[in-house]
């Protein structure tokens, strides 16, 4: 039965003394430990946006860079998430790493990065991924798989004789965090939860009951 599935977390702890006072550094530390611990897809994060009716929508995207300003990911600006961010820049993301029994929740404001930075990242991608960005009218209704295959073949042939560039509708977003919550699984469901709330450019740190 689903109700009988449970895990008793007991690998690590997180306390007010051990947590880094800079949430970006704490996130970077946990990311590195997720990577070194061979967590599958350690950079995968669930991105939630708000649609035109005020309903949340979530999907998995990949973190491509963590800077002192925030989290960067790339997508099609004409996709559902791109259109929703254009209308409402408030977003949230969630990381979950089962191997280290950790979760991080982040809320913030998403904004487009510069076209030059998007272009630089696009040109660093494998050719197949570059062609895929051109071939997919992301989030649009299509008749069948054949549409994608034909688009891919057409762009593959076109860029065989032309220099490939970033599609104008594709690029990166920077999420500027205003809130972090670090969750460390503990035994008996008494998990450690430490939040960081941004107030007047200062991070206020609190422990939350599980």
Q: Report the C-alpha gap between 171 and 165 in whole angstroms.
A: 12
Q: Report the C-alpha gap between 77 and 80 in whole angstroms.
A: 8
Looking up tokens 């008793």 gives: 8
* Contacting residues for 57 by C-beta, under 8 A, at least 6 apart: 48, 49, 50, 51, 80, 81, 84
> Helices 127-135 and 115-124, interaxial angle, to 10°?
120
Tokens of 19: 């947590």
> Would you say 192 and 103 are in contact if contact means Cβ atoms under 8 Å apart?
no
DSSP H or E run through 197 = strand 192-199
Q: Report the C-alpha gap between 172 and 110 in whole angstroms.
A: 10
| Residue numbers annotated as active site | 189
Burial, 20: exposed, middle or buried (Cβ in 10 Å; 0-12, 13-18, 19+)?
middle
């Amino acid at each position: 039965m689903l109700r009988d599935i449970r895990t008793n977390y007991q690998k690590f702890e997180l306390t007010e003394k051990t947590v880094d006072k800079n949430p970006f550094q704490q996130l970077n530390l946990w990311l590195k430990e997720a990577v070194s611990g061979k967590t599958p897809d350690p950079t995968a994060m669930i991105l939630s946006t708000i649609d035109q009716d005020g309903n949340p929508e979530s999907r998995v995207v990949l973190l491509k860079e963590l800077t002192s300003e925030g989290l960067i990911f790339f997508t099609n600006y004409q996709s559902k998430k791109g259109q929703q961010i254009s209308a409402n820049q408030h977003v949230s993301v969630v990381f979950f790493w089962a191997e280290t029994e950790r979760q991080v929740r982040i809320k913030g404001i998403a904004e487009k990065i510069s076209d030059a930075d998007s272009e630089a990242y696009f040109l660093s991608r494998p050719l197949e991924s570059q062609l895929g960005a051109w071939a997919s009218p992301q989030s649009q209704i299509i008749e069948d798989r054949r549409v994608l295959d034909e688009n891919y073949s057409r762009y593959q042939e076109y860029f065989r004789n032309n220099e490939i560039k970033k599609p104008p509708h594709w690029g990166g977003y920077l999420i500027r965090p205003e809130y972090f919550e670090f969750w460390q699984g503990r035994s008996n469901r008494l998990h450690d939860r430490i939040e960081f709330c941004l107030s007047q450019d200062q991070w206020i740190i609190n422990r939350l009951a599980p």
